[in-house]
Chain A
Amino acid sequence: MSAEGKAIRPAATGYIGQPVPRPNARRLLEGRGRYTDDMVLNRMLHVAFVRSPYAHARILAIDTEAARAVPGVAAVVTGRDIAEICQPWVGVLGHFPGLKSAPQYPLAVERSCWQGEPVVAIAAETRAIAEDACEKVLVEWEELPAVVDMQTALAPETPVIHEELGDNLAFGLELKAGSPEDAFAKTAVVVEETFSFGRHTGVTLEPRSLIADFEPGERRLTVHHATQTPYQMQDVYARHFGLDEEKVRVVAPDVGGSFGLKLHVYGEEMATCALSILLGRPVKFVADRLESFLTDIHARDHQVRARMAVSAEGEILAMDVEDVTGIGPYSVYPRTSAVEGNQAIRLMGGPYRMPNYHGVLKVVFQNKTPTCQYRAVGHPIACGVTEGLVDMAARRLNLDPLEIRRRNVVTAEMYPHTSPTGYFFERLSHEECIAKIEAMMNYSSLREEQARLREQGIYRGIGFATFIEITNPGPAFYGVGGARVSSQDGCVMKLEPSGRVRCSVSVTEQGQGTETVMAQIAATHLGVKLDSVTVLTGDTQATPYGGATWASRGAGIGGMTVLRAAQALRGKLLELAGIILQRGPETLDLREGVIVEADTGMARMDLAELGRIAYFRPDTLPPDFHPDLTVARHYVPQGLPFAFTNGIQASHLELDPETGLVRLLDHWVVEDCGTILNPLLVDEQVRGGVVQGLGAALFEECLYNEAGQMINGSLADYLLPMASEMPDIHVDHVSTPTQFTPLGAKGVGEAGTAGAAAAVMNAVNDALAPFQVSLAQMPFTPERILRALGKIPSS
Chain B
Amino acid sequence: MDPTFPITLTVNGTEMVREVPVRQTLADFLRQTLGLTATHVGCEHGVCGACTVRIDGRIARACLTFAIQCDGAAIETLEGMAESGKIADLQQAFHRRNALQCGFCTSGMLVTAAQLLEENPRPSREEIREIISGNYCRCTGYHAIVDAVEETAEARAKSEPEGAR
- Segment at the B interface, from A468-476, A615-623, A719-727, A738-746: A719-727
Contact between chains at B107 and A724 (CB < 8 Å):
no
Contact between chains at A31 and B78 (CB < 8 Å):
yes
Contact between chains at A38 and B104 (CB < 8 Å):
no
A22-B130 contact, Cβ under 8 Å, with A30-B82, A256-B103, A716-B45:
no
Nearest A residue to B94, CB-CB: A29
Contact between chains at B102 and A71 (CB < 8 Å):
no
Contact between chains at B143 and A25 (CB < 8 Å):
no
Flag A204-224 by CB within 8 Å of B: 1 or 0 each.
Answer: 111100000000000000000
A residues near B102, Cβ cutoff 8 Å: 204-206, 254-258, 510-511
CB neighbors of B among A574-604 (8 A) = none
Does B98 count as interface, using CB distance less than 8 angstroms? yes
CB neighbors of B among A543-587 (8 A) = none
Contact between chains at B104 and A724 (CB < 8 Å):
no
A residues near B96, Cβ cutoff 8 Å: 21
Expressed in whole angstroms, the minimum distance between the Cβ of B149 and any Cβ of chain A is 10
Does B156 count as interface, using CB distance less than 8 angstroms? no
Expressed in whole angstroms, the minimum distance between the Cβ of B27 and any Cβ of chain A is 11
Rounded to whole angstroms, the CA-CA distance of A724 and B110 in the bound complex is 17
Contact between chains at B41 and A724 (CB < 8 Å):
no
Range for the number of chain A residues in contact with chain B: 35 or more
CB neighbors of A among B17-53 (8 A) = 21, 23, 31-32, 36-48, 50
CB neighbors of A among B124-159 (8 A) = 125-126, 128-130, 132-133, 135-146
B residues near A30, Cβ cutoff 8 Å: 38, 78-79, 82, 91
Nearest A residue to B125, CB-CB: A728
Rounded to whole angstroms, the CA-CA distance of A680 and B148 in the bound complex is 13
Does A165 count as interface, using CB distance less than 8 angstroms? no
Rounded to whole angstroms, the CA-CA distance of A689 and B141 in the bound complex is 7
Nearest A residue to B99, CB-CB: A684
Partner of A25, one of B31, B39, B41, B98: B98
Contact between chains at B143 and A28 (CB < 8 Å):
no
Contact between chains at B105 and A684 (CB < 8 Å):
no
Range for the number of chain B residues in contact with chain A: 35 or more
CB neighbors of B among A746-769 (8 A) = 752
B residues near A26, Cβ cutoff 8 Å: 95
Partner of A684, one of B95, B98, B110, B128: B98
Interface of A is mostly: loop
Does B16 count as interface, using CB distance less than 8 angstroms? no
Contact between chains at A29 and B95 (CB < 8 Å):
yes
Rounded to whole angstroms, the CA-CA distance of A783 and B79 in the bound complex is 44
Rounded to whole angstroms, the CA-CA distance of A726 and B35 in the bound complex is 35
Q: Tell me the number of A-to-B contacts counted with CB atoms below 8 Å.
A: 171
Contact between chains at B141 and A257 (CB < 8 Å):
no
CB neighbors of A among B85-111 (8 A) = 91, 94-96, 98, 100-107, 110
Contact between chains at B143 and A205 (CB < 8 Å):
no
Contact between chains at B101 and A688 (CB < 8 Å):
yes
Does A203 count as interface, using CB distance less than 8 angstroms? yes
Contact between chains at B42 and A32 (CB < 8 Å):
no
Nearest A residue to B50, CB-CB: A205
A128-B2 contact, Cβ under 8 Å, with A257-B138, A257-B139:
yes
A128-B138 contact, Cβ under 8 Å, with A28-B103, A37-B41:
no
Contact between chains at B129 and A724 (CB < 8 Å):
yes
Does A33 count as interface, using CB distance less than 8 angstroms? yes
Contact between chains at A728 and B143 (CB < 8 Å):
yes
B residues near A33, Cβ cutoff 8 Å: 37-38, 103-104, 106
B residues near A28, Cβ cutoff 8 Å: 100, 103, 106
Does A630 count as interface, using CB distance less than 8 angstroms? no
A residues near B95, Cβ cutoff 8 Å: 21-22, 25-26, 29
Partner of B37, one of A31, A715, A729: A31
Nearest A residue to B79, CB-CB: A31
Contact between chains at A511 and B38 (CB < 8 Å):
no
Flag A241-282 by CB within 8 Å of B: 1 or 0 each.
Answer: 000000000000011111100000000000000000000000
Contact between chains at B48 and A205 (CB < 8 Å):
yes
Contact between chains at A511 and B139 (CB < 8 Å):
yes
Flag A481-511 by CB within 8 Å of B: 1 or 0 each.
Answer: 0000000000000000000000000000011
Does B164 count as interface, using CB distance less than 8 angstroms? no
A687-B107 contact, Cβ under 8 Å, with A25-B98, A257-B138, A510-B102:
no
Flag B1-15 by CB within 8 Å of A: 1 or 0 each.
Answer: 110000000000000
Contact between chains at B129 and A726 (CB < 8 Å):
yes
Contact between chains at A690 and B141 (CB < 8 Å):
yes
Contact between chains at B98 and A681 (CB < 8 Å):
yes
Expressed in whole angstroms, the minimum distance between the Cβ of A676 and any Cβ of chain B is 14
Rounded to whole angstroms, the CA-CA distance of A203 and B78 in the bound complex is 24
Contact between chains at A288 and B44 (CB < 8 Å):
yes
Nearest A residue to B142, CB-CB: A723
Contact between chains at A25 and B45 (CB < 8 Å):
no
Expressed in whole angstroms, the minimum distance between the Cβ of A199 and any Cβ of chain B is 18
B residues near A205, Cβ cutoff 8 Å: 40, 42, 48, 50, 102, 104-105, 136-139
Contact between chains at A206 and B42 (CB < 8 Å):
yes
Partner of A512, one of B77, B101, B136: B101
Q: List 15 A-B contacts (CB under 8 A).
A: A28-B100, A30-B78, A31-B37, A35-B37, A35-B104, A38-B31, A205-B102, A289-B48, A510-B102, A511-B100, A690-B141, A691-B142, A721-B142, A722-B136, A724-B129
Beyond known contacts A205-B137, A714-B47: 12 more, CB 8 A cutoff: A29-B106, A31-B107, A203-B138, A206-B102, A511-B103, A511-B139, A688-B140, A691-B142, A715-B136, A716-B45, A724-B129, A729-B141
Closest 4 CB pairs of A and B: A31-B38, A28-B103, A511-B101, A256-B104
Q: Report which A residues bind B (CB closer than 8 A).
A: 21-22, 25-26, 28-35, 37-38, 40, 71-72, 128, 203-207, 254-259, 288-289, 510-513, 680-681, 684, 687-692, 714-716, 720-726, 728-729, 752
